[in-house]
Amino acid sequence: MTKLVEKAASLLREGAVIKVIGYEEGSNKTRPFFCEKAEDVERLIYNGRCTNNLAVYLTKPELLGNGKVAVVATVPTMRSIAQLVKENQLKEEKFLLLTVTKEDEVVEFSGFKEMNDYLADIQLVIDTKEQELINKLDGMNREQRWAFWQQELSSCFKCYACRAACPLCYCSRCVVEVNAPQWIEPWASPLGNMEWQINRAMHLAGRCTGCGACSDACPLGIPIHLLTHKMMEDIDRDFGATFNNSGNVLSTYKVEDKEDFIR
């Protein structure tokens, strides 16, 4: 029995939480698991293959139910939780946050602050293939980048799986569903696809935590997370306002803010 299984069993048996949101083995990959009974805890796993960002469920009261919920959080999940906390979307008393170390030890956080302190020394890691693509985009001029994204987004069929997978896309009514006025063409088309992704990237400006869940969810493998990743880099460079700092770039104004993006 792993330490995680032991911990989850005791939390559920003692009634400290009503469910443990973690991971279980799926048919060919791991998947999220909402464990509500102590007899099911053996299904809980935690390893490097657990990549779903569980923070996406934490803003959905219909999934959480009435009572405290334990979350087995990976680093990307914790980063998203930290951003959701900054945006006043999570109530501390509702969650018991856990993570598992490389040594399979379970860490239980006393609250959001302790989780933030734990995250403070953990750098965002970008794998080599990803960095190559970022470098390729950085090496392009504006016209080349536009052509690259036009080509990539030409196959998007507006399934919105990217939106559903993102913990920070939590609006109850998304701009793409507003039809009076119709801001964005609802059908898939070169213009509508571009409008959709530019809107998505702008709404996530300075909020995206770089988890990659959006492109992992895209059935076509479009690297849309790089749009928000680039926003994250640019905003960090120009405003120093990534998820590590307080304030959100689109809702915080300082007189010394640069305005050189207005051309």
What whole-number distance in Å separates Cα of residue 10 and Cα of residue 33? 17
Residue with smaller CB distance to ligand SF4, 69 or 169: 169
- Shortest distance, position 245 Cβ to ligand SF4, whole Å: 16
> Between 45 and 166, whose beta carbon lies closer to ligand SF4?
166
Instruction: For residue 161, state whether it binds ligand SF4 (rule: CB under 6 A).
Output: yes
Residue 162 in the binding site for ligand SF4 (CB under 6 A): yes
Q: Which of 63, 122, 140, 220 binds ligand SF4 (CB under 6 A)?
A: 220
Give the nearer residue to ligand SF4 in terms of CB position, either 9 or 56: 56
Q: Per CB under 6 A, which region of 62-70, 90-98, 153-161, 246-254 contacts ligand SF4?
A: 153-161
191 binds ligand SF4 (CB under 6 A): no
What is the nearest approach in angstroms of ligand SF4 to the Cβ of residue 243? 9
